[in-house]
Chain A
Amino acid sequence: MKILVAVKRVIDYNAKVRVKADNSDVDLNNTKMAINPFCEIAVEEAIRLKEAGSADEVIVVSVGPKACQEQIRTALALGADRGIQIETDDIPESLNVAKLLAQVVKNEEPGLVLLGKQAIDSDNNQTGQMLSALLGMPQATFASELTLKDGKVQVAREIDGGSQTLSLSLPAVITADLRLNEPRYASLPNIMKAKRKPLTVTTPETLGVELKTHSTLIKVTPPVERSAGILVNSVDELVEKLKNQANVI
């Protein structure tokens, strides 16, 4: 069985998000980028399934400009077998990504498609769901445990206040939550080997997908800064300030 994993290039979770001076977007100039943490968990799960003998090939796909090949290489260094980059100028919105991935799934015919539950940059939490709808495949989102058994996949999902266990027929689309696993480190020899693993580049045109814009980014603003508190010396002063300055009592 093949497993297909989608990975997204996002701002590193350690990097501080900065908004451009003209509020047009987030400033990513020379900012550290990384593989979306939830996608990394999906990659790790796929590799574990392969190591356990449940899969024989792990393919990673990323949509975006050339730079996202770095994230594909990271996944290859963790143990994926080959990569596919779908070249676009910017990373398009979720529906476009889902359509592109759907086409790759049709071409590759994997038994399982794994994605992160959401990307930490735009927090959309849509691509996996859209993909499953486009493909007419069963879906399980927010997976915290995953077992393959008798041609089915059993998934424990995190839901409000507890966990739900589903059994899906294959092929299926599953999105990974934080607790699914803890990804390994890529070893130095594996990073070297990853440089020689196959990585093919394709385009939306080749895949026959027309990218459409359904929404426009109007502006991005940083959170308002909390103004500094003041220290009062007595209860009387506090009451006075609440009354006359804050006008709350």
Chain B
Amino acid sequence: MEREVMTFDVLIVGAGPAGLASACRLKQLDPELNICVVEKGSEVGAHILSGAVIDPKALTELFPDWKERGAPLTLATERDEVVLLKDNRSSIKIPHWMAPKSMHNQGNYIASLANLTRWLGEQAEALGVEIFPSFSAADVLYDENMQVKGILTGDMGVGRDNMPKDNFMPGIELHAPFTLFAEGCRGHLGKELIRQFKLDQGKDPQHYGIGLKELWDIDPAKHQPGLVIHGSGWPLQGDTSGGFFLYHAENNQVAVGLIIDLNYSNPWLSPFDEFQQLKHHPLIAQYLEGGNRVSYGARAITKGGYNSLPKMNFPGGMLIGCDAGTLDFSRIKGAHTAMKSGMIAAEAVHHALKNNETDASTFEARYTQSWLYRELYKARNFGPALHKLGRWLGGAFNTLDQGLFNGKLPFTLHDLQEDHASLHRSSESKPITYPKPDGKLSFDKLSSVFLSNTNHEEDQPCHLQLSKEEIPLTVNIPLYDEPAQRYCPAGVYEVIDDDAGKKLQINAQNCLHCKTCDIKDPCQNIQWMPPEGGGGPNYPNM
């Protein structure tokens, strides 16, 4: 099919913190540049879900006057608590000096990253950046030398049967000397580019977590604006690691969430139900009781950090932010690092454009001289320590490493097993029974998904594609009791057992674009593809 072509100076895939920071930086460096950003969400910020306690470091470098410009970072963190939940009733508060230094949050802000992203979008548009929400990048386009020459936007108006409908609108080719991929954790194009250019050669495998989050309106009497609580322990059992957060934000709201490392081994584990249970712990319930849940969502995070960070530049483009994996897991903060990586990339791309180069190869040197490199290097042992040494010893190690030695211990721990390979057989694992939701603190999946405002045009091809149709029946159901029905936070995967036998049903309309299935499927059989632009969650204030 002959497709329409539009050409820009720089193309950016994804209007998240990384993509928008790079767009702004490019315009600051050269206001004449034609910059196009495509975003699969229905508007900028619609697909952004984060904690969030935000370190303003990168923002201050980008817009030193962000306060005057009205950036939605207004609530400074007041007090930090680090706790360990021993069981369903008790907890221990870790004294400040014993908690890893990375868990201290002075100088940071409690905010909604979705709203900060909306604001960044306004700044970018004021600088002249063209942002196109509801347009997904469906494919990478290469030239005859296998240099990236742009992207193809997704077709719109295609029916479930793959046939064009009356309102069919073919995708168009967007071309540019440089394309920056800023899709966030587990970008589907990023995944292809890493494979295509072997960007992960010599690096540890990437590691991930799934983060679930809710926003609550709470009783004003219980609200302590600026209070930040981090913790781990109950209800996670055995070798499952992860941590929870509870942030007292503005307007009598709290954000509560749980992040579970996706290298867990028990296929019976349900991250959603662990999270629902967590809220019953008195430490958390004391704030939520009598309150109202207003929003729910989930998103995977890229947590491999320094050891897993792929090479970020390649001919004709770059990977930036969580699409590459710039999150600092020792602080569970990725917004400022994503922004910084986008800003450094902008400088490297600007240099390359000026010198007519096709590869932004000065990125590496710029990056290694930046605070971003130092921050990620310092945190390199954090995740592997937890995985290899377990929660207790690993935690102690991290206190020592991050606190006393400031990340300078002269060795590096590696974690070489891929997350999808860690599942044990269901027959060899202890089944977990979760208590029924009480409808006050805990809820079922469907009523939760309802609060994410997710929606997809019904009559379109399924965007969750199985490489091999038969795998659920031949491998996943018999060996793992199809873990997707439990790890998917939106109830997309359902095993139907009727007269015709078992089969996997995919309710793609509920998808939250968290990418967990693409990561955790034991056979790597599920490919998350972008659905029709504008589909997916519509998160307000997440």
Contact = CB atoms under 8 A, between A and B. Distances in A.
Interface of A: 12, 14-16, 18, 21, 29-32, 182-185, 187-189, 191-192, 228
Contacts of A182: 166-167
Given A187-B169, A188-B174, 11 more contacts: A29-B540, A30-B114, A30-B541, A32-B540, A182-B166, A185-B169, A187-B172, A188-B172, A189-B4, A191-B132, A192-B6
Interface stretch (B192-200, B205-213, B450-458): B450-458
A38 B439 CA distance: 36
Interface residues on B, range: 20 to 34
B167 A189 contact: no
Contacts of A228: 439
B169 A15 contact: no
> Which one of B4, B167, B252 has the highest number of Cβ atoms from chain A below 10 Å of its Cβ?
B167
> Which one of A12, A31, A32, A184 has the highest number of Cβ atoms from chain B below 10 Å of its Cβ?
A32
A31 B215 CA distance: 14
A15 B541 contact: no
B135 interface: yes
Contacts of A14: 42, 453-455, 538
Contacts of B471: none
B540 A189 contact: no
Contacts of A189: 4, 6, 172
9 contacts: A15-B453, A15-B538, A18-B294, A21-B252, A30-B45, A30-B540, A182-B166, A187-B4, A189-B4
Q: Chain A binding site: helix, strand, loop or mixed by DSSP? A: loop
Contact of A12 (B42, B156, B252, B294): B42
Given A14-B538, A184-B169, A32 B42 contact: yes
B418 to A, nearest CB: 35
B167 A15 contact: no
B157 interface: yes
Given A12-B538, A14-B42, A18-B294, A188 B153 contact: yes
Given A14-B538, A32-B453, A188 B135 contact: yes
Contacts of B42: 12, 14, 32
Contact of A16 (B156, B167, B252, B453): B453
Nearest to A191: B132
Interface string B440-458: 0000000000110111000
B118 A30 contact: yes
A183 B534 CA distance: 15
Contact of A183 (B112, B167, B453, B454): B167
B312 to A, nearest CB: 27
Contacts of A16: 450-451, 453
Interface in B342-371: none
Contacts of B132: 188, 191
B86 to A, nearest CB: 32
A163 B141 CA distance: 50
9 smallest A-B Cβ distances: which pairs?
A: A14-B455, A30-B540, A185-B156, A185-B169, A32-B538, A31-B540, A30-B541, A15-B453, A184-B167
A84 to B, nearest CB: 22
A29 to B, nearest CB: 7
Nearest to A31: B540
Interface string B150-166: 00010011000000001
A178 to B, nearest CB: 15
Interface string B108-136: 00001011001000000000001010010
Contacts of B4: 187, 189
Contacts of B172: 187-189
Contacts of B46: 32
A42 to B, nearest CB: 16
B219 to A, nearest CB: 11
Contacts of B540: 15, 29-32
Contacts of B538: 12, 14-15, 32
B157 A185 contact: yes
Interface in B364-384: none
A185 B457 CA distance: 13
Interface string B18-59: 000000000000000000000000110110000000000000
B217 interface: yes
Interface string B515-542: 0000000000000000000000010110
Interface string B450-489: 1101110000000000000000000000000000000000
Contacts of A184: 167, 169
A18 B453 CA distance: 12
Nearest to B166: A182
